[in-house]
Amino acid sequence: MTKKILFFFPENPFSNRAGNTTRAKTTLTVLKKMGYHIDLVGAAEIYKSQNDTTDIDQNIVDHLFLIKHRPLKAKTSSAYWKHKISKFYKKPNEYNHLLTDFAKQEFSDIFNKEKYDAIIINYEFWAGLVDHESMKNTLKIIDTHDWITLNEFYKNKSLDIGKRFNEEINNLSKFHKVITISEDENLVFKRFLGEKVINIPPSFPSHFEKSDGDKKYDLIFVGSENIFNIQSIQWFFDHVYSLLPPNINIVIIGRICKHIQEKKGVTLIEFAESLEEYYHQSKIAICPMLEGTGIKIKVIEALSYGLPIVGTERAIDGFPSKTSNGCLVNDHPEIFKDQIMSLLLDQSYYQDMKIQAEEYFKNNFSEEKAIEKWKKILH
């Protein structure tokens, strides 16, 4: 009998919007290839705020459910008054205002209508969805995506780190298995939660090209409009771009384009249904990240196309190995520029780095590696 998974991810993982949605989609793809039936649950308020459609890939997901954080404003409804009254005596969740008792009940109602063999929750701040007694004996897995305390500290330097990290560990301890995607974060969480912590890095199918041929773009950068990407691309244009020759061609893809002015040699594409053609048309991927936590999905995706990476030291956060990984990293603008130029001008060196990128990807981030690890958790 085919097993069923209830998979919670707040946004639409098929939106092709950012690294986090790509990560969720690749996980769903892996689970489907393992033969599971999957029901997907999202947060209605987040779908609305992100202008997400309810379009899903029905070859991967069987059903989509959206949970609300409060009942409809029908004043004759008992659910409405129960929610209204609870607001007077119960504080809202400090770290996730959408995680209300009403949202938890909606999630448990979905769970209780079907027989699920496992629940997978994405993000620590949604952990409370599994608090219901009916889920006690079901395999519960959380995919952390990020070390949330550190991520929030980057955004708010006055954060009470001790209090937030205590909350994070308590939330993760509710689960039978805790998935990290970064080797660095795996080591941190293992110290507190032991062997239930398993590192499963992002995975993609490989798209290596046998022949390089002529490329339309010298550099490619893919990014959503989160604060870390905005800081990164501003640093690149403020400190590196002017050092490059004027004939360099750069393509930038994603909502990050809203924060970039038109410049010579720079093509801005706010949305692309598929990145494949752009990666195949590019020579080098750049990742000039200054802050941010966790492994960078954009770097793994570029490696899956055999592209060498030029980045800052943050670009290889979470990598099992900091060397021989297809990436050249340095935080100094002049050296960053030199690394780009050395790859563009020395074809032999470029080929060596390309082979290195492909080998590192195959050994660490292939779908086959991810399937092996998921089998150990689910079987």
**353: closest CA among 326, 319, 335?**
326
Of 201 and 342, the one with more pLDDT: 342
- What is the average per-residue pLDDT within 135-162? 88
**198: closest CA among 182, 184, 180?**
180
Region of 213 on the Ramachandran plot (φ > 0 left; ψ -120 to 50 alpha; else beta)? left
pLDDT of amino acid 225: 84
Percent of the chain with pLDDT over 70: 93
Neighbours of 345 (CB within 10 A): 9
In the chain, alpha helices (H): 19-33, 44-49, 78-89, 101-113, 148-155, 161-172, 183-193, 227-239, 276-280, 297-303, 333-345, 347-364, 367-378
pLDDT at residue 346 is higher than 80: yes
- What is the average per-residue pLDDT within 125-151? 91
pLDDT of amino acid 115: 87
pLDDT of amino acid 84: 52
Strands 177-180 and 139-143: parallel
pLDDT of amino acid 291: 79
pLDDT at residue 232 is higher than 90: yes
The full set of domains in the chain, from first to last, is 4-204+367-378 (3.40.50.2000), 217-364 (3.40.50.2000)
Tell me the pLDDT tens digit for each residue of 272-310.
888 899 999 999 999 999 876 678 888 999 999 999 999
pLDDT at residue 220 is higher than 60: yes
Residue 303 contacts residue 365 (beta carbons within 8 Å): yes
- What is the average per-residue pLDDT within 172-185? 92
Mean pLDDT rounded to a whole number for the chain:
89
Q: Is 162 exposed, middle or buried (0-12, 13-18, 19+ CB in 10 A)?
A: exposed
For the residues of 170-198, what is the DSSP string, one character each?
A: HHHTTSSEEEES-HHHHHHHHHHHGGGEE
pLDDT of amino acid 87: 54
Question: Which tokens in the block code for residue 92?
Answer: 């809202």
pLDDT of amino acid 76: 54
pLDDT of amino acid 287: 95
Tell me the pLDDT tens digit for each residue of 12-49.
999 888 778 888 999 999 999 999 999 999 999 999 98
What is the phi/psi pair of residue 188, to 5°? -65, -55
Radius of gyration of the chain (CA): 22
What confidence category does residue 102 fall into, taking pLDDT thresholds of 50, 70 and 90?
very high
pLDDT at residue 148 is higher than 70: yes
Neighbours of 300 (CB within 10 A): 24
pLDDT of amino acid 89: 53
What is the phi/psi pair of residue 167, to 5°? -60, -40
pLDDT of amino acid 212: 65
